[in-house]
Amino acid sequence: MMGNNDQQAYDRGTSLFSPDGRIYQVEYAREAVSRGAPSVGVRTTDGVVFVAMSRPSSSLMEAESIEKLHKLDDHVGTASAGHVADARQLIDLARRQSQGNRLRYGEPVGVETLTKFVTDHIQENTQRGGTRPYGAALLIGGIDDGEPRLFAADPSGTPNEWKATVIGGGRQDIQGHLEDEWRDDLSLAEGIELAVAALAAHDDEFEPADLAVATVTEADGFRTVPVEEVETAFEAAGLDADDEADADDEADGDAGADE
């Protein structure tokens, strides 16, 4: 009985290490992120690409109300996965820091500097009583001195820089595709195609309207990509062709069944 009570103490405490060096609440927060819809970030030669699955859970839900991609400043944006309310708090924090940096120093905040500010705040919630870890992860990407940079922040408060990565569900399949197909000479359009194809490696039953896509470049800053361009990337990734082939196979099968 005493052993069970000790285990529950480590399980419920947000700032307690278990005897094997784990913080269970952080692991539970990571699990919450892994159950969310995936968001992909890709660094290209021209800028950073964000592609997020934003499929409505009901036909009665307005798709525009699902916000997975956010502008933090003219030169930096973010994608989220996990608990939406937790992510919103972190996004508001990052926006205030970006605005404060411009007011205080008269220049845009660095992408790495902003990421570490946010992750420092996330980490505080893993060692302070009366709080819980954020059940959300962020991809933060933008332009630093003309160079595209992409970072990921997880519920432990660890910042890592990436060439391409994913947060949310289906990580193993999506990250595997990114590792196989990413190149250091990707154009912005090719980066969108890669992100769309990577999402399809996990779940190919989605349409262009189910995706939210944004880019961050030095010339245009943060830009939301219209659905027409998403459809072009969708076709370039070969998804329409596969769907048509599947539809033809199903039609042939139905015809054979009728005969």
Q: Is the pLDDT of residue 75 over 90?
A: yes
Distances (CA, A) of 107 to 1, 110, 111: 59, 9, 12
Q: Identify the band that residue 210 occupies on the pLDDT scale cut at 50, 70 and 90.
A: very high
CATH domain 21-237 topology: Glutamine Phosphoribosylpyrophosphate, subunit 1, domain 1 (3.60.20)
**Measured distance between the N- and C-terminal CA atoms of the chain, rounded to whole angstroms:** 68
Scan for tokens 């990250």, then name that residue: 175
What pLDDT is recorded for position 241?
A: 43
Q: Per-domain residue ranges for the chain?
A: 21-237
Q: What is the dihedral of CA 167, 173, 174, 177, to 10 degrees?
A: 150
pTM: 0.87
Residues 6+ apart with CB under 8 A from 245: none
pLDDT in tens, 145-180: 999 999 999 999 999 999 999 999 999 999 999 999
* Mean local confidence (pLDDT), 70-90: 96
Whose CA is closest to 211, among 239, 250, 184?
A: 239
Q: CA-CA distance, 181 to 198, in Å (whole number)?
A: 9
Q: Is the pLDDT of residue 244 over 80?
A: no
Helices of type H across 147-238: 171-181, 188-202, 227-236
What pLDDT is recorded for position 10?
A: 65
Q: Between 138 and 24, whose confidence is greater?
A: 138
* Mean local confidence (pLDDT), 88-100: 97
* Mean local confidence (pLDDT), 230-234: 92
pLDDT in tens, 10-19: 676 677 788 8
What pLDDT is recorded for position 5?
A: 55
What pLDDT is recorded for position 38?
A: 96
Q: Is the pLDDT of residue 2 over 80?
A: no
Q: What is the DSSP letter of 80?
A: E
